[in-house]
């Protein structure tokens, strides 16, 4: 029986999505994009049980982006279909209520790097090769790379990496402020990522989701408008069990028991 192109591993409240096309370095063909999109849609509706999502790759790479062998067989309208599908998938990942962590190794190129950019946090093995190499193929990053990278590391460095199509290492990404953690060995990368995951999971889930929503909705807005957005997020938390539980736990000098309600 053929395995699916993305595996789901569950432990406690964490769902780990494993890109599962190791023979092609987890390149994203149309079938994978459709399957991956369905998983993300389902997870977005399961925030009560799935409180954090990790994305990683099987085999020797995180993800090398679009499946170029498939692209060679596609007509122009099919290319447009694929680009829309990968763009919409990464937008859906960015808009997930749950915190997301990309765990990179080997290669994170093109759409694979854009996938990591759509996540909230990024960890990488030190020797990971990264890059938005599209201009060397006569195209541009089409799944958010030209928009997300400048917002994360600044305009000047983003232009350098995008317009040269140059590959760079995880060390350079770390120095640019793009990574949350970096390590020599993959097991240490995983430990760092899980340490952050468990720290996040110790907080009230509805508060995490509201804070993430407020950050994203306020980006690019005038300050007064952004403050209104922040208030909308805060106001939804006032009647929740978890807010009242946190105050009671403080009074009783014990850890709070959050229920996500």
Report how far residue 41's alpha carbon sits from residue 56's, in angstroms, rounded to the nearest whole number.
18
- Hey, what are 84's tokens? 């829309």
The H or E element spanning position 246 is helix 241-252
Report how far residue 41's alpha carbon sits from residue 63's, in angstroms, rounded to the nearest whole number.
21
Q: Are the C-beta atoms of 55 and 17 separated by less than 8 Å?
A: yes
Report how far residue 251's alpha carbon sits from residue 244's, in angstroms, rounded to the nearest whole number.
11
Catalytic annotation present for 13? no
Instruction: Decide: helix, strand or coil at residue 49.
Output: coil
> Catalytic residue among 65, 106, 110, 111, which?
111
Report residue 65: phi and psi, to 5°.
Answer: 90, -150
> Catalytic residue among 15, 85, 108, 114, which?
114
In Å, what is the CA distance from 260 to each residue of 96, 178, 231, 243?
16, 30, 20, 10
Catalytic annotation present for 111? yes
> Catalytic residue among 15, 134, 173, 207, which?
134
Catalytic annotation present for 175? no
Give the number of C-alpha atoms closer than 13 A to the C-alpha of residue 209, restricted to the C-beta side.
Answer: 20
> Catalytic residue among 15, 47, 61, 66, which?
66
Beta-sheet pairing, 14-19 with 107-109 = unpaired
Catalytic annotation present for 199? no
So which residues are the catalytic ones? 66, 111, 114, 134
């Amino acid at each position: 029986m053929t395995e699916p192109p993305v595996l789901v591993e569950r432990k406690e409240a964490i769902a780990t999505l494993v890109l599962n096309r190791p023979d092609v370095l987890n390149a994203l063909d149309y079938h994978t994009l459709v399957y991956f999109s369905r998983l993300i849609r389902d997870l977005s509706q399961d925030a009560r049980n799935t409180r954090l999502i990790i994305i990683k790759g099987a085999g020797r790479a995180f993800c090398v982006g679009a499946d170029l062998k498939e692209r060679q067989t596609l007509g122009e309208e099919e290319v447009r279909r694929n680009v829309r599908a990968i763009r919409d998938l990464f937008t859906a990942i960015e808009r997930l209520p749950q915190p997301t962590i990309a765990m990179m190794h080997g290669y994170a190129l093109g759409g694979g790097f854009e996938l990591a950019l759509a996540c909230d946090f990024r960890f990488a093995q030190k020797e990971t090769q990264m890059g938005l190499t599209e201009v060397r193929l006569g195209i541009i990053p089409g799944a958010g790379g030209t928009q997300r990278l400048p917002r994360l590391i600044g305009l000047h460095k983003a232009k350098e990496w995008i317009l040269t199509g140059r590959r760079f290492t995880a060390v350079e990404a770390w120095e640019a402020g793009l990574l949350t953690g970096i390590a020599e060995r993959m097991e240490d990368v995983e430990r760092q990522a899980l340490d952050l995951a468990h720290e996040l999971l110790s907080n009230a889930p509805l508060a995490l989701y509201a804070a993430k929503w407020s950050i994203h909705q306020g980006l690019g807005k005038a300050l007064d408008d952004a403050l209104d957005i922040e208030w909308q997020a805060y106001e939804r938390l006032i009647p929740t069990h978890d807010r009242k539980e946190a105050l009671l736990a403080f009074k009783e000098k014990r850890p709070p028991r959050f229920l996500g309600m």
